């Protein structure tokens, strides 16, 4: 059936992202509602800064060093996004199975391109800003559009080849990208050279997708210490390192982004920042991000291995690790945020949100359904009140 391969990939992309954000939907909504002003200011500032950087690519007086810096930043951010979303975007685990099927190369390349463009996500905001700002008689300047389109295609060629393990083709595309960075100007000859570089990178990427001789993989040996550690944790550490690894990384990234946002706002404040509170914001974000994790670990593990519920010693180890990991992450987040806090009462903020965290963990573990909306709601109210008292 035409398009069935792409439909499978799109469905896998959607389901994987839903699985990664499992248990975080209401927490994200509550945090975004409470931090609307801060998040809006940060996002707007980053979009404008990245847009102004991309705008310099079309300026004829931009030096090669600045062009290289802008393109290097774009390449680094785009590669980081695709690498983070690699499981959802490229579906690497069943790749060997799909490679054994008579699926045309163009279908595989088409699916990778479309899903990679979707994974670029936030990078389209500065691109849209540049296109909107560069207006000439109601239409966007062609030079700007060509530069951005060529940059996007070249970076895609590098990233796709690199993440597929085609190092030789990735180096070829990276060479074309470096030449693109060094060739400045908006004249017709320069634009033709840029177009030729994009076509060359596309050809290298196409060859990376062509069938190649299969490589024999050596069996990976797992250390005995790691196996004993997983068994000692009641399989929870193994679950967090495989099945729930992406979900855990999303939660940790959520907390790290909250801390980074607070520090960035403090850094850019024009008024006195001597009373700025960091603990109250990080505690709210950490509590919302982690309170469902113990229940999620237990539910996932017992769903896949229900017989473990009857093993008392094993269930005891599982229970201890399932609670110890989120509590440890919460304590670590507080320990990192505490030195940056300049409010007069960080202890009160920490006490309030620690109590909410414990209540949220208990409610989620007992399966009390109102916890899913009561925890974000009470955290948002507490954040608004405590932040206003700072």
Give the pTM: 0.58
Written as six digits, the tokens of 332 are: 């670590």
Q: What is the mean pLDDT of residues 127-143?
A: 64
pLDDT at site 347: 85
Q: What is the mean pLDDT of residues 318-335?
A: 88
Mean pLDDT over the full length of the chain: 78
Q: What is the mean pLDDT of residues 92-119?
A: 84
* Residue 42 confidence (pLDDT) above 70: no
Instruction: Name residue 135's beta-bridge partners.
Output: 140
Q: What is the mean pLDDT of residues 210-237?
A: 63
Q: What is the mean pLDDT of residues 223-252?
A: 73
CB 332 within 8 A of CB 356: no
- The one-character DSSP state at 221 is P
Q: Quick one: pLDDT band at residue 24, thresholds 50, 70, 90?
A: low
Phi, psi dihedral angles at 119 (to 5 degrees): -75, -20
* Residue 139 confidence (pLDDT) above 50: no
* Residue 1 confidence (pLDDT) above 70: no
64-84 helix and 105-119 helix, angle to the nearest 10 degrees = 100
pLDDT at site 308: 65
Query: Could you give the CA distance from residue 292 to residue 369 in angstroms, rounded to a whole number?
Result: 12
Residues with Cβ within 8 Å of 184's Cβ and at least 6 positions away in sequence, in order, are: 60, 62, 63, 64, 67, 190
* Residue 37 confidence (pLDDT) above 60: no
Q: Quick one: pLDDT band at residue 44, thresholds 50, 70, 90?
A: low
Cα 370 versus chain centre, distance: 29
Cα 284 versus chain centre, distance: 20
Return the number of other C-beta atoms located less than 10 Å from residue 135's C-beta: 10
pLDDT at site 214: 44
pLDDT at site 36: 57
Q: Quick one: pLDDT band at residue 218, thresholds 50, 70, 90?
A: low
pLDDT at site 306: 65
Q: Which of 92-96, 171-175, 232-236, 251-255 has the lowest mean pLDDT?
A: 232-236
């Amino acid at each position: 059936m035409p398009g069935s391969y792409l439909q499978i990939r799109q469905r896998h992309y959607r389901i994987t992202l839903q699985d990664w954000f499992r248990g975080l939907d209401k927490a994200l909504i509550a945090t975004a509602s409470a931090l609307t002003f801060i998040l809006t200011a940060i996002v707007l500032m980053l979009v404008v800064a990245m847009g102004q950087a991309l705008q310099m690519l079309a300026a004829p007086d931009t030096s090669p060093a600045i062009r290289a810096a802008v393109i290097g930043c774009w390449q680094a951010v785009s590669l980081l996004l695709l690498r983070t979303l690699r499981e959802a975007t490229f579906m690497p685990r069943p790749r060997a199975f799909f490679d054994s099927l008579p699926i045309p190369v163009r279908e595989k390349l088409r699916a990778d391109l479309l899903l990679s463009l979707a994974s670029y996500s936030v990078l389209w905001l500065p691109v849209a800003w540049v296109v909107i700002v560069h207006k000439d008689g109601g239409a966007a300047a062609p030079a700007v559009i060509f530069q951005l389109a060529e940059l996007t295609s070249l970076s895609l060629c590098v990233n796709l080849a690199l993440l597929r393990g085609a190092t030789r083709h990735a180096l070829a595309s990276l060479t074309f990208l470096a030449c693109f960075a060094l060739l400045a100007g908006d004249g017709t000859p320069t634009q033709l050279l840029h177009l030729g570089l994009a076509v060359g990178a596309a050809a290298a990427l196409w060859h990376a997708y062509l069938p190649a001789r299969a490589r024999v993989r050596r069996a990976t040996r797992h250390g005995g210490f790691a196996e004993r550690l997983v068994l000692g944790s009641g399989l929870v550490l193994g679950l967090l390192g495989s099945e729930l690894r992406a979900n855990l990384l999303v939660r940790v990234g959520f907390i790290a982004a909250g801390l980074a946002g607070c520090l960035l706002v403090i850094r850019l404040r024009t008024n006195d920042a001597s009373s700025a509170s960091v603990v109250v914001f990080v505690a709210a974000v950490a509590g919302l991000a982690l309170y469902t994790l113990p229940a999620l670990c237990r539910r996932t593990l017992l769903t896949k291995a229900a017989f473990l519920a009857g093993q008392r010693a094993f269930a005891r180890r599982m229970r201890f690790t399932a609670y110890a990991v989120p509590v440890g992450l919460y304590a670590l987040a507080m320990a990192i945020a505490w030195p940056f806090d300049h409010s007069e009462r960080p202890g009160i903020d920490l006490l309030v949100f620690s109590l909410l965290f414990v209540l949220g963990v208990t409610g989620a573990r007992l399966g009390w359904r109102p916890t899913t909306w009561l925890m974000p709601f009470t955290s948002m109210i507490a954040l608004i009140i405590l932040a206003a008292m700072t």
